[in-house]
Structure 1
Amino acid sequence: MKATYREVKADILSKITKGHWAPGSLIPNEIELAESYGCARATVNRAMRELADDGLIERRRKAGTRVRSSPVRQARFDIPLVRREIEDKGAEYRYSLASRAIEEAPDWLRARLQLDEGARALHLVCMHYANGDPFQHEDRWINLEALPQAREADFMQTGPNEWLVATIPFSTAEISFSATLADTSLAEFLGCDAGAPLFTIERATWFEGDANTFVKLTYRPGHRMTTRY
């Protein structure tokens, strides 16, 4: 039975999101793919057109088709990069990984991301600094079912936010803003007193129904957020 264009698209998408075809890598041409999937070239062409429209691949005449280095988002907003936010203020950026562990997703995370029981997640705690001063505390979980390559990713030099933006797009995002009070741990990370008021953003993203990540971002006292549309 010949593969449908939806099956071809799903398999190519899986190869991209799971790292078999890395960002920037050349994808086999349509004739090769048609032979591989046992279908007509027109079937492959339709799958490739949709992937290009989704912003996952870039097609160029004579140059071939490549996985985009930074997938284009089709959502109404982009995921901001804290590095860029700090450097745009004219400050020097520094990043630090505080902890890293692979854990069974806790109940609250499974409920938030609709994960299966027993799902494994990569838990990262990071700090971002502006001119040496604490700027943002990042408490992040990455779904290893959707992104198994995160197990081997080096987050010592580059933060998970930048890695995710370069690795996988999102089709759905959920964001909430709130105020919180610094507990002892956050106070130590952010260089403030316990009980100090802090601004917090919680963000979860999905791609075509599969959860990518959940993150809680907490900012130093006095942080001000400005958005532009």
Structure 2
Amino acid sequence: MTKGDGPVSSVSWQSIRDTMMTRIRAHDYAPGELIPNEVDLATEFGCARATVNRALRDLATSGFLDRRRKAGTRVREAPRRKATLTIPLTRAEVEASGARYEYRLLERGVEAPPPAVRGKLKLAGDERLLHVKSLHLADDVPHMFEDRWIVLDTVPEIEAVDLAKTSPNVWLVRHAPYTHGTMEFLAETAGARAKHLICAADDPVLTMLRVTWLDASPITFARQTFSPSHRMRLEL
């Protein structure tokens, strides 16, 4: 134990976090207010400063504190929670709803991507991309139409996969782990996708745009459009 770290204590960082959270909820520390510094809190709790630091970092990660170097730690005016999303298996989603799942490959081919796709994947222009269109159904009713581009320079193995039997969604989740990515959600009209979703072209639909990367290498850009009756539920 170095000088200034505080006395040895059995107090855990989790118990300090819980106490601080109780004070925040009770407005003992009001929104926007500076909380005591780590040295003072370590003295109060009778523990090492590092234990206090761990507790405050957890509260900051959870969105309740705003920590700034040399400016101290404040209670956030509005707590900012982070949502963690996993890439779902469409089959699992459909079957979890109690419906029977079916997948249909509509088109596949190696093509030059349009400018919008090149921009999403930050491509130089000479990469080979596999373009796949597919339909996912629930109890024989269209559930989701997928328009997907896959960068073969990053995952060349998928070119040999029979995508009439295995969907790109399943294969990529199982064989192409990603390091990071983005998701965007759009409300738009079905347009030309209406023929696959069996709805009117001007019907409103939910579309999800997803891009995944393996470090600096783009893996795939998927545009998934759901049927007009689709509902999305997230846990907060």
TM-score, normalised via structure 2 length: 0.63
TM-score, normalised via structure 1 length: 0.65
Letter paired with 2:124: D
Does the 8 A contact of 1:105 with 1:119 survive in 2? Answer: no
Deviation at 1:106, TM superposition (A): 2.3
Deviation at 1:205, TM superposition (A): 0.3
Deviation at 1:186, TM superposition (A): 1.0
Where relative contact order (Cα < 8 A, 6+ residues apart) is larger, the structure is: 1
Deviation at 1:222, TM superposition (A): 2.1
Cross-structure match for 1:197: 204
- SS of 1:100's equivalent in the other structure is strand
Cross-structure match for 1:226: 233
Q: Distance in 2 between matches of 1:76 and 1:145?
A: 28
Cross-structure match for 1:103: 111
Does the 8 A contact of 1:128 with 1:135 survive in 2? Answer: yes
Q: Of the candidates 86, 92, 95, which is equivalent to residue 78 of structure 1?
A: 86
Q: Distance in 2 between matches of 1:104 and 1:193?
A: 30
Q: Which has the larger radius of gyration?
A: 2
Q: Where in structure 1 are there 5+ consecutive unaligned residues? A: 1-74
- SS of 1:79's equivalent in the other structure is coil
Root mean square deviation of aligned Cα: 1.4
Runs of 4+ residues over 3 Å off in structure 1: none
Q: Where in structure 2 are there 5+ consecutive unaligned residues? A: 1-82
Deviation at 1:76, TM superposition (A): 4.2
Q: Distance in 1 between matches of 2:121 and 2:200?
A: 32
Q: Of the candidates 154, 176, 193, which is equivalent to residue 186 of structure 1?
A: 193
Deviation at 1:158, TM superposition (A): 1.3
Q: Out of 208-217 and 75-84, give the one that drifted further.
A: 75-84
Q: Distance in 2 between matches of 1:104 and 1:221?
A: 30
- Mapping of 1:20-99 within 5 angstroms? 76-99=84-107
Whether 1:216 and 2:223 are equivalent positions in the alignment is yes
Deviation at 1:180, TM superposition (A): 0.9
Q: Distance in 2 between matches of 1:123 and 1:198?
A: 22
Equivalenced residue count is 154
